[in-house]
Structure 1
Amino acid sequence: MVETADLTNHFLIAMPQLTDPNFSQTVTYICEHSREGALGIVINRPLDLRLREILAHMDLEADDAAVAELPVYLGGPVQTDRGFIVHPGTERWESTMEVTDGISVTSSRDILGAIARGRGPQRMLVALGYAGWASGQLEREIAENAWLSGPADPEILFELPHGARWSAAAARLGVDLTLISGQAGHG
């Protein structure tokens, strides 16, 4: 098995030649990575869905119109009916996984109630579904050059428009994705 460093709190940046429709031109925030596998949330695939629709489905209504209009992202192809809130801070709800000292992922209803009442995190990314890798799978994909990886950047995660995240995450590593070819040159 190919050994890779712990990629928790890293971005996986899809290489241009990755054509899998679930991951082409994506940035995935890795929430957990161990010998057993990895779990991440794709951060640049907005759905045609707003947070108000998720809240309404749970009989909640946002006090703040701007919060109600937050986009909901397709976090990955696994369990697309399950919601995840990626947020800064250390406040904990019923089902919060602390990724780092500064970023957590929560998947319980109580955070949605807090968000609706204006008592939730100030910055957040709301996603349905996640990306999952079995033991050794992500390491193999990285070895096959499907992904670049680098430390996560909260500004890219929470502030940058979704359409700019793929190129910005790569640029943070000094990589211009438009200059990468999937073809090997044998001149």
Structure 2
Amino acid sequence: MAHSTIPSIDLSKGFVGKLIVAMPHLADTPFEQAVCLICSHDDEHAFGVVVNKPMSGITVAEVVSQMDIDADESAERAPVFFGGPVDLQRGAVLHTLDFKQDETVVIGPNIGLTATKDALEAICTSDRAPEKWRLVMGHAGWDGGQLENEIKRNDWLSIDATEDRVFGGPADAWDEALKHLGISDPALFAGQDSPVIRPN
């Protein structure tokens, strides 16, 4: 079956500001049904955070209490997100740019990432918190050329990151991203031999 509506990926360009969407054959890995925001990418490495996997049984209040930060009611209820399998003990705040520091990494339109204690304090205080935010623990990392190779072998597809896609409902993020790419039946791509053809 042809899938002509699926855009090809230009491997000559960096992926900063892109969401990469895990293909179904990555089941039983940390990236099963993952939507990952690429925050930095160059010849030496790539770095990203998964945006659609809330961690079960842990809240923002529990994490920040270990740093003597008091959380208000909204932060007490907010889930912590699994950002990736690397450095799971380290957290960062993914947020809209109504909060911004010198240390903030600007990733795309109204999307930034800040890994400071002040950012944690901000999300725990309603009058300082950005409009949209997520606390992510851990990240995804690739050595030079590794991400490109994974894309060549059809482990990931790519779409532009938007505020709605990054901060939208996590339960539907993977399905919605695939639908945007023209894939209505992910089961067609469940095997290693994906019908999506990518240029070398």
**TM-score, scaled to structure 1:** 0.89
Per-residue CA deviation, residues 1-42 of structure 1 (Å, 9 max, x unaligned), is x94421111111110112352111111111111112211101
Distance in 2 (CA, whole Å) between partners of 1:32 and 1:130 is 12
Q: Is residue 153 of structure 1 aligned with residue 179 of structure 2?
A: no
Q: How many residues align?
A: 182
Counterpart CA distance in 1 for 2:51 and 2:189 is 22
Q: Which position in structure 1 is the counterpart of 2:176?
A: 168
Q: What is the deviation of 1:59? A: 1.2
Aligned to 2:191: 182
Contact 1:93–1:108, Cα closer than 8 Å, also in 2: no
Residue in 2 that maps onto 1:7: 15
Q: Distance in 2 between matches of 1:184 and 1:108?
A: 42
Which one-letter code corresponds to 2:77 in the other structure? Answer: E
> Does the CA contact (< 8 Å) of 1:90 and 1:103 recur in 2?
no
CA spacing shift, 1:66–1:29, aligned 2, 3 Å: same
Contact 2:123 2:133 in 1 (8 A): no
Runs of 4+ in 1 over 3 A off after TM superposition: none
2: distance between equivalents of 1:4 and 1:17? 25
Alignment of 1:47-58 (within 5 A): 47-48=55-56, 49-58=58-67
Aligned to 2:111: 103
- Residue of structure 1 in register with 2:68 after alignment: 59
CA RMSD between the two structures: 2.0
Query: What SS does structure 2 have at the residue aligned with 1:126?
Result: strand
Structure 2: tracts of 5 or more residues without a match: 1-9, 195-200
Task: State the shift of 1:53 in Å.
Answer: 0.6
**TM-score, normalised relative to structure 2:** 0.83
The amino acid of 1:149's aligned partner reads: S
Please tell me whether residue 82 in structure 1 is matched to residue 93 in structure 2.
Answer: no
Contact 2:109 2:163 in 1 (8 A): no
| 1:92 correspondence with 2:100 | yes
Contact preservation (8 Å) 1:42, 1:74:
yes
The separation in 2 between residues aligned to 1:102 and 1:47, in whole angstroms, is 25
Structure 1 residues 112 and 94 mapped into 2: Cα distance closer, same or farther (>3 Å)? farther
Separation of aligned partners in 1, 2:23 and 2:52: 14
Paired residue for 2:43?
35
Report % sequence identity. Answer: 35
Separation (CA, whole Å) in 2 of partners of 1:167 and 1:102: 23
- How far off is 1:70 after superposition? 1.0
Q: Of 6, 17, 24, which residue of structure 2 is paired with 1:16?
A: 24
Structure 1 contact 14–26 (Cα < 8 Å) conserved: yes
TM-superposition CA deviations, 1:84-132 (whole Å, max 9, x none):
1111115323531111241110001011112222202121111100000
